[in-house]
Amino acid sequence: MRTLAQSVRDLAAGTSSRSLVEECLARIQDPSGEGRRVFLKVHADQARAAAHYVDTMRRQGAAPSRFAGIPISVKDLFDVAGDVTTSGSVALRDAPVATRDAAAVARIRAAGLIPIGRTNMTEFAFSGIGINPHYDTPRNPYDRATGRMPGGSSSGAAVSVADGMAVGALGTDTGGSCRIPAAVCGIVGYKPTAKRIPTDGVLPLSFTLDSVGPLAPTVACCAALDAIMAGEEAEDTTPFRLDGMRLAAPQTVVLDEMDSTVAGVYAGALSRLSKAGARIVDIPLTELSGIASLNRRGGFAASEAYAWHHKLIEAKGALYDPRVLVRIMRGKDQDATHYIELMHARADLIHRVAAISSQYDALVMPTVPIVAPSLASLEAEEQFRSVNLLMLRNTTIANLLDRCAISVPCHRGGDAPVGLMLVGEHGADRRLFSIAAAIEQIVSPGPSVS
């Protein structure tokens, strides 16, 4: 994988943006690769034209930023001017084309980054597995012979980065959709504090929980993309001091049903951090045990998705992925009383957890409790449902608490990818990047730059 930092150095040393774009396009178009499953649309001509423009500007010292000319993929949930935003569905194929870019896309363009194409995803972003029956499912870069799930919903986004088809990716995260695919594909995925990055021009799943986040090879890559999308200066991230860092490791719920691989890798990561000076404190955090009950009727995602989808379902429900449709339809049975009770219960949970977590620099836990299973093992509906809930269980905590969170690889190079999730306080996004940068140096295998 090529990192943003490597690309910036190469561009400063005279490498052309056109060559970076052609390198990514070659991987996308490789007939033996995953490009046809990863991208629903490739903006090859537009990317080449944009690269030529950036190269011309850079030669004259007028490039809009040091990141100008770097190719980025865009999840098929974002409006891109001139494209139809299908959200991984066939039900929206005949929708009007977008007349303007989503706010996040407009900001990356303004910084000179180049959208190279639209990536595949779980239909309407409603699953942590990443399966798409309409456009096929991108295969996880790890153990392609077996054909493992890529994680969702930003499945194509993660694989586009892991396979070097883009240097970074724009994704969304409502219950883990940036962090889950990042964890199982061996890259970094970030979920900002919701509403910090505007969701204008992003097809919604849950307007309460939706957030826009990056997927990329390293913490520094994600920090830069996040800053650009948040309208901030993309400054270099200074790692937090490990000596004296206080990490709280919850013992309730988040460690249940871990497979032996994740359990071993997670324990090893915590051990390495402890030896490096971090203080890791096991805490009960029994408050997490009530989250499943809180979401028993489908939670915010089902109710708010149904409110957006119900008219489209009346007209084109037969075109929906049945596994997605059944989850949206759970929102039909929620009434105003249920919804208001959920709002109050969430506010109470946020308050109670904050009183505990504020004593620490971050919460730490496995991003997901199992390594990516094979796609074949998920064909049975009961197994799909069970694995989907397991994939979403830990990550959705940060969304419900309205926190920032990041998944950092913590496996050994060449082994099955495992993610270490860090959850920061509400609004403490830049601080969490600093903490994650320090932890990454200890636990991550590091990207293989090519």
Nearest by Cα to 177 from 120, 93, 252: 120
Locate tokens 């930092």: which residue?
5
* CA–CA dist 424, 403 (Å, integer): 6
* CA–CA dist 25, 47 (Å, integer): 9
Note whether residue 321 is domain-resident: no
Q: What is the CATH number of the domain that holds 57?
A: 3.90.1300.10
Note whether residue 185 is domain-resident: yes
Positions annotated as catalytic residues are: 75, 153, 177
For the record, the structure tokens of 58 come out as 């850079």
pLDDT in tens, 297-330: 999 999 999 999 999 999 999 999 999 999 999 9
Domain count, the chain: 1
Locate tokens 């990536």: which residue?
119
pLDDT tens, N- to C-terminus, the chain (450 residues): 999 999 999 999 999 999 999 999 999 999 999 999 999 999 999 999 999 999 999 999 999 999 999 999 999 999 999 999 999 999 999 999 999 999 999 999 999 999 999 999 999 999 999 999 999 999 999 999 999 999 999 999 999 999 999 999 999 999 999 999 999 999 999 999 999 999 999 999 999 999 999 999 999 999 999 999 999 999 999 999 999 999 999 999 999 999 999 999 999 999 999 999 999 999 999 999 999 989 989 999 999 999 999 999 999 999 999 999 999 999 999 999 999 999 999 999 999 999 999 999 999 999 999 999 999 999 999 999 999 999 999 999 999 999 999 999 999 999 999 999 999 999 999 999 999 999 999 999 877 543
Residue 78 phi, psi (nearest 5)? -95, 140
Contact 215, 161 (CB under 8 A): yes
Q: What is the pLDDT of residue 448?
A: 54
* CA–CA dist 419, 370 (Å, integer): 10
Contact 298, 330 (CB under 8 A): yes
Instruction: Mention every residue, 6+ apart, whose C-beta is less than 8 A from residue 316.
Output: 91
Instruction: Kindly give the pairing relationship between strand 212-216 and strand 39-42.
Output: unpaired
Note whether residue 299 is domain-resident: no
Note whether residue 315 is domain-resident: no
| DSSP assignment string, 389-424 | HHHHHHHHHHHHTT--EEEEE-SPTTSPP-EEEEE-
Note whether residue 320 is domain-resident: no
Contact 140, 183 (CB under 8 A): no
Q: What is the pLDDT of residue 305?
A: 98
Note whether residue 306 is domain-resident: no
Instruction: Mention every residue, 6+ apart, whose C-beta is less than 8 A from residue 314.
Output: none
* CA–CA dist 331, 310 (Å, integer): 10
Q: Which residues partner with 249 through β-bridges?
A: 282
Half-sphere exposure of 63 (CA within 13 A, CB side): 22
Contact 160, 38 (CB under 8 A): yes
Number of H-type helices and E-type strands within the chain: 15, 11
How far is the first Cα of the chain from the last one, in angstroms, to the nearest whole number? 6
Task: Give the domain range for residue 184.
Answer: 1-290+341-450
3-state secondary structure of 383: helix
CA dihedral angle for residue 124, residue 172, residue 113, residue 225, rounded to 10 degrees = 180
Q: What number of residues does the chain have?
A: 450
Q: What is the pLDDT of residue 446?
A: 77
Q: What is the pLDDT of residue 445?
A: 84
| DSSP assignment string, 154-190 | SHHHHHHHHTTS-SEEEEE-SSSTTHHHHHHHTSEEE
pLDDT in tens, 71-125: 999 999 999 999 999 999 999 999 999 999 999 999 999 999 999 999 999 999 9
Note whether residue 334 is domain-resident: no
Please state, as a whole number, how many other Cβ atoms lie within 10 Å of the Cβ of residue 205. 28
Instruction: Mention every residue, 6+ apart, whose C-beta is less than 8 A from residue 145.
Output: none
Side by side, which strands form the sheet with 279-283?
Answer: 39-42, 114-119, 71-75, 168-172, 212-216, 188-191, 405-409, 419-423, 362-366, 246-250, 279-283
* CA–CA dist 169, 327 (Å, integer): 26
* CA–CA dist 321, 144 (Å, integer): 24
Note whether residue 324 is domain-resident: no
Instruction: Mention every residue, 6+ apart, whose C-beta is less than 8 A from residue 410.
Output: 265, 266, 268, 269, 418, 419, 420, 443, 444
